[in-house]
Amino acid sequence: MSDFDMLPHHSVLRDAGYKTVGEVAEEGTHELSVRTGLTRETAAEIISKARRIAYASEFKRLESYLKARESVERISTGSRSFDELLGGGVEVRAITEFFGESSSGKSQLCFQLAVNVQLPKDKGGLEGAVIFIDTEGTLRPERILQMAAAKGLGRDVLSNIYAAQAYTTEKQIRLLESVFELAERLNVRLLIVDSLTANFRREFAGRAAMQNRSKKLNEFMEILRKFIRKFDAAAVVTNQISAEVDALTPAVRAVGGNIVAHSSTYSVLLRKARADLRIAKLVDAPHLPEAEVTFRITEEGIC
């Protein structure tokens, strides 16, 4: 008997689309009840049982963690030095935040990653599809085709990118919820949100709205974390900046405060230097020191 078959009403759970004990363990009582048609009391009992089964096997020797880290998949940015800055590229099952001022290269980097993830693994890709949530109307398929051509790819690259626009926070959150169903049918390895905070910043302006903004933003980030764990995908979000100036030092910070900072695995500040030259500074990562590199945005893409 499998662990899943040990759960009460396991056949009902399977019919509702649950495949593993871990998925049930991480589900909310209301969500499980709605999906299965079971009562909330029964759903709570099932989740409790699933957590006892799943969490009993969570503790592992640290050497097994190291082996798992050594096999983590990554997506190339197109720049060798940029990849090295990130420890080998954009990591799956992680949220990577790129923040900076206008024209610093945030959207261009998103376009390049949407192309590169479709490449073979020996070329820096994951042979996967892309979900792209555009909140500022900056998505340009013609630019993506230009980058794809430089990689030897044709118009088919657009068929593997599933895009939607969201100009309100509510639609942005609901779109993210809907991608779970889409990803069940596709090999999604990258989810892009460009930009993460534009809608939140516009709709919840001022200190009086800060609590509501934080609540909604936290809801979005929690769904995003759940998605990348479920589908073994990478998440890339772009972010705007705000300048905070005190008597001693001016500081450039990403919008969203601690909510975004704590939710993101990697945070990278992008700056424009001159012409096609950009600077990427890694400001936060679990295992890498602060460092910066230069890269170029050319007609062919990131290099």
Domains and CATH numbers, the chain: 4-56 (1.10.150.20), 68-302 (3.40.50.300)
Q: Is the dihedral of CA 55, 56, 57, 59 positive or negative?
A: positive
Question: What is the spatial distance between Cα 292 and Cα 21, in angstroms, rounded to a whole number?
Answer: 42
Q: Token pair for residue 277?
A: 């030259």
Reported as a single tens digit per residue, the pLDDT across 62-114 is 998 888 888 899 999 999 999 999 999 999 999 999 999 989 999 999 999 99
pTM over 0.85: no
Regions of the chain where pLDDT drops below 70: 243-252, 254-257
Res 142: pLDDT: 98
